[in-house]
Amino acid sequence: MPDSANLSSALGDAVTEGRQFLARLESMTQALGSELARHEEAAREWSAERQAVKDEEDRLRATLRTVNETIAAERKRLSQLEREMDAARQERDQATADRDAAAADRDRAQAQLAGGAAELARLRDQLEMVTRDRDALQTDQIQWGLDRERMLGEVNQVKEQAAGLERDLGTEREQHLALQARHAELTEASAGNRRSTRTGKWSLTLCSAVA
């Protein structure tokens, strides 16, 4: 994020400046220490000026104490700046991770959207196929209904024809039975006539032989 990057850069600059200032204070401390050592030597060498040197020594000690307090304060401020810089860096890293995660989520969403579009197209194709099959089935059902009515009509017609044939067959059967009975009567009468004729011929032959 831009604000986080600017804050991190500003904190880095502040830490660098604090370190430079601390280095200058530490150098000043060393210089003051050296100066104090020279004054202490001078105090031993020039006892006549001891009070002035002592006053200067007190002043230098006070200055050194102030510098040490300033160094401690700067070190504390520098530590605080370093912590803020670390926090800003972590915030920037977290923002980067969140941005990467959002990009990954967006890519996954786009991939899912593309997959959903493909699935929708496939379902539409299946729906069109089912619709065509349904229309064809309805057409077949209508045609089957028409064929069924036609076949039922033909079956009824055949039944009527069969009933007529059955009636004709019954009539013919009765006629055939009557013919069979008549034929039997005629056959029996013919057989009786043949027996009578054979008996008469035998009698005539026997009479001729006796004579």
Using the structure block, give the residue that is written with the tokens 């800003």: 88
Output the average pLDDT for the chain. Answer: 78
Residues 6+ apart with CB under 8 A from 11: 81, 84, 85, 88
- Span of 4-18, 89-103, 126-140, 146-160 with lowest mean pLDDT: 4-18
Q: What local confidence, expressed as pLDDT, does residue 53 receive?
A: 64
Q: In Å, what is the CA distance from 142 to each residue of 90, 91, 132? A: 75, 73, 15
Using the structure block, give the residue that is written with the tokens 């990467």: 100
Q: Does position 84 have pLDDT exceeding 80, yes or no? A: yes
Q: In Å, what is the CA distance from 199 to each residue of 190, 204, 205, 211? A: 14, 9, 10, 19
- Span of 6-20, 131-145, 195-209 with lowest mean pLDDT: 195-209
Q: Does position 211 have pLDDT exceeding 50, yes or no? A: no
Distance of alpha carbon 198 from alpha carbon 188, whole angstroms: 16
The answer to whether the predicted template modeling score (pTM) of the entire model surpasses 0.75 is no
